[in-house]
Amino acid sequence: MDIVTLRAEIGIDPEAEGHYRDITGIGNTSGIHTHDFYEFFVIVEGAAYHCVNGKKERLEEGDLVFMRPRDVHYYEPLPDTDCRLINLSFYEHTLTDLFAYLGAGFPQQAFHSAPDPIVVHLSRQEKRLLQDRLTGLIRIPQRDKLRFRTMLRSILAETYGYYFLPEAAAERDGKPEWLSRLCKEMHDPVNFLEGIPAMMRLSGKSHAHLCRVFRQWEDQSPLAYLNRVKLQYAENLLLGSDRSVLDIALEAGFGNLGHFHKSFKSLFGTTPQRHRKLRQTKQAPLV
């Protein structure tokens, strides 16, 4: 089977730096191919097989796939099923510039060296938000290429930073995918304030199973992990606002101020008030 090479200079406008496609069926996709540009796509409806680098995997609604130049792939339909996907392709230098901007903390090596493209499963809400951002590109007039490029770069920064970064870190650390996703979701105040029940609900795991897995991968109990998340959230409020320590403790889920002080000092080595004072003396003056 011949492999076609798709080239950026043919399919992507150099001023816009990217190309948006809403593909309503597998029959409208290219056959087996590779390319000299980057792309990602998200399944917005249905399901299909994705054949990539000699492997076949089933993709379903909400799956977001980060493709690299030289990955070889194509799609196959499932019986009695089709799918719709949105694809965003962009120049290699556009993503290189983004990675440089994101800095050394972004796991470029995990992205480039992974044997296969990383797949992230989005919740329905996440899929809808990303879909809305992507379809915003088609509202930009064709002649307004600079505006398209700015919007493109904004979407790339959000997508690679918010969706790809946690998944790449998980690949690097070897954690189970569900655990990495759970840890990310537990940084949402709505979830960490609910506590262990939210962990069980979001993961579908029993409390006993969570305890075993967190001991293995985080070297602490689920409750200790939640406590650290709450304290880190409190630290951000402490250093990023002028709110009182009591208000911050309550928002972070500590109903007892004495317990908050003790827990904070155990993690950061000093009291909340002292921590705020020491850090603010090293920062720029407040406006």
90-104, 189-203, 270-284, range with the lowest pLDDT: 270-284
pLDDT score at 96 = 94
Contact 89, 35 (CB under 8 A): yes
Is residue 71 within 8 Å of residue 114, measured between CB atoms? no
How far is C-alpha 4 from the chain's CA centre?
A: 30
Q: Which residue has the tokens 């076949």?
A: 56
CB proximity list for 125: less than 8 A, separation 6 or greater: none
Domains belonging to the chain, first-starting first, are 4-173 (2.60.120.280), 179-280 (1.10.10.60)
Between the ranges 2-6, 13-17, 171-175, where is the mean pLDDT highest?
Answer: 13-17
Question: Which residues make Cβ contacts (< 8 Å) with residue 280, sequence separation at least 6?
Answer: 239, 286
Please report the pLDDT score of residue 287 as a whole number. Answer: 52
Residues in the chain, overall count: 287
Distances (CA, A) of 160 to 71, 73, 96, 107, 166: 18, 21, 12, 10, 9
pTM for this structure?
A: 0.69
- Give pLDDT, residue 181: 84
> 71 and 51 in contact (C-beta within 8 Å)?
no
Q: Are 74 and 56 in contact (CB under 8 A)?
A: no
Is pLDDT at 173 greater than 80 in this prediction? no
pLDDT for residue 172: 54
The Cα–Cα gap between 215 and 210 comes to: 8
Whether residue 255 is predicted with pLDDT greater than 70 in this model: the reply is yes
Start-end of H helices in the chain: 8-11, 92-102, 108-113, 124-135, 145-159, 165-173, 177-185, 189-194, 196-203, 207-217, 222-240, 245-251, 257-268, 272-280
Please state, for a pLDDT cut of 70, what percent of the chain lies above it: 94
pLDDT digits (tens, 9 = 90+) for 130-162: 999 999 999 999 999 999 999 999 999 999 988
d(CA 61, CA 82): 11
Residue owning tokens 């991968």: 217
For 70, which DSSP code? T
8 Å CB contact between 195 and 222: no
What integer pLDDT is reported at residue 167 of this predicted model? 67
